[in-house]
Amino acid sequence: MIEIQNLTKHYGDIKAVKDVSFTVNKGEILGFLGPNGAGKTTTMNILTGYIPSTSGTVKVDGYDIMDQPREVKRRIGYLPELPPLYLDMTVTDYLDFCASLKEVDKKQWKSQKEDIMELVKIAHVQHRLTRNLSKGYRQRVGLAQALVGAPDVLVLDEPTVGLDPKQIIEIRKLIKALGKNHTIILSSHILPEVSAVCERVVIINNGEIAAVDTPENLSRNLDNFSRFTMTVAGPEKKVKELLQQVYGVKALEVKDRGKADEFSYIIESDKELDVRKPIFNKLAEYGYPILELKSLGLSLEDIFLQLTTEETEVN
């Protein structure tokens, strides 16, 4: 759906974006991450047609943003970090204004507007001035304007910034629901949010792509060890002794104690060795059952910090 090839943007001598390339598949929710000043906003501004690139190409549904900007803009709904609201307009007047700018067919607009307001749950405030709305509802109105014209692609820049925990959960659920019918690029500094919503992530640093992959694959590629947590019913001293006998186990830590003679352990092993089966066999030999076993890969926060604070290559 979206193809970005060799995208470059210079502001005088400053290279804000340097030879950036990635694609977004139809129906995908892609996380777009990077520290402040990394080039995220510049890339999104080029994608949405707000500013031109110095070189490179951006195509949406096969249309080039430089050659056919109107066709690209018809297919994109954009929610910037600060929703572009007119505070002296009512919600419904504002959406009508956005529809006129996007040249939405007037015959279709009435039913489309009702569907959008119902979807983002703003129908009950449609006659209120946007200046009188809470931060959460202003964000919803901003999202509603991005949906005007039924675009195939949504570009959302920090859609939950400044919201309270309840509002964040509501907007997160809405984004996941929108992902069923739209291709979405989500930029956010709230990394657990990206982990919960996005299938793949693009991480940009110093204007260059640092990584493009699923969080799971990035964790596997960047982590030098395999880690997992395991709960075992058995005496701590004896279980530790048995686990340390298993070839490949490099480090062992008792995490906490549940019931009597039930302990949780964090185990670190060689990346290339799967020690789960020999651990099972060893403990089963002595009659100590494994009650729970869960992988502990790098979190998205760990991945982000590693890729944006060190010179790390991901193959």
Amino acid at residue number 285:
E
Residues 48 and 22 in one domain: yes
Residues 203 and 305 in one domain: yes
For residue 310, pLDDT over 60 is answered with no
Q: Percent of the chain scored above 70 by pLDDT?
A: 95
Q: What is the pTM of this model?
A: 0.75
Residues in contact with 295: Cβ distance below 8 Å, sequence separation at least 6, in sequence order: 226, 227, 228
Residues 258 and 118 in one domain: no
Q: Are 142 and 83 in contact (CB under 8 A)?
A: yes
Q: Which of 143, 160, 182 marks a domain boundary?
A: 143
Residues 170 and 287 in one domain: no
- 290 within a domain of the structure (yes/no): yes
DSSP codes of every residue in the chain: -EEEEEEEEEETTEEEEEEEEEEE-TT-EEEEE--TTSSHHHHHHHHTTSS--SEEEEEETTEETTT-HHHHHHTEEEE-SS----TTSBHHHHHHHHHHHTT--HHHHHHHHHHHHHHTT-GGGTTSBGGGS-HHHHHHHHHHHHHTT--SEEEEESTTTT--HHHHHHHHHHHHHHTTTSEEEEE-S-HHHHHHH-SEEEEEETTEEEEEE-HHHHHHHH-SEEEEEEEEES-HHHHHHHHHTSTTEEEEEEEEE-STTEEEEEEEEETT---HHHHHHHHHHTT--EEEEEE----HHHHHHHHHHS-----
- 50 within a domain of the structure (yes/no): yes
Give the C-alpha separation, 246 to 232, whole Å. 15
Give whole-number Cα distances, 132 to 64, 87, 120, in Å.
40, 8, 18
Residues 156 and 60 in one domain: yes
Determine the distance from the C-alpha atom of residue 243 to the mean position of all C-alpha atoms in its chain, rounded to a whole number: 37
Residues 61 and 163 in one domain: yes
- 167 within a domain of the structure (yes/no): yes
Largest CA distance in the chain: 76
For residue 165, pLDDT over 90 is answered with no
Q: What is the pLDDT of residues 6-41, one digit of tens each?
A: 999 999 988 999 999 999 999 899 999 988 888 888
Q: What is the pLDDT of residues 89-130, one digit of tens each?
A: 999 999 999 999 999 999 899 999 999 999 888 999 999 999
| Number of structural domains in the chain | 3
Determine the distance from the C-alpha atom of residue 136 to the mean position of all C-alpha atoms in its chain, rounded to a whole number: 20
- 67 within a domain of the structure (yes/no): yes
In DSSP terms, 157 is beta-bridged to 187
- 231 within a domain of the structure (yes/no): yes
Give whole-number Cα distances, 63 to 3, 9, 51, 73, 250, in Å.
10, 20, 17, 10, 53
Q: Which of 99, 119, 143 marks a domain boundary?
A: 143
Q: Domain range holding 117?
A: 85-143
- 315 within a domain of the structure (yes/no): no
Q: What is the pLDDT of residues 219-278, one digit of tens each?
A: 766 666 677 888 999 998 899 999 999 998 888 888 777 677 889 998 888 777 888 899
Report strand pairing: 200-205 vs 29-33: parallel
Residues in contact with 247: Cβ distance below 8 Å, sequence separation at least 6, in sequence order: 273, 275, 278
Torsion of the alpha carbons at 92, 93, 94 and 95, rounded to the nearest 10: 50
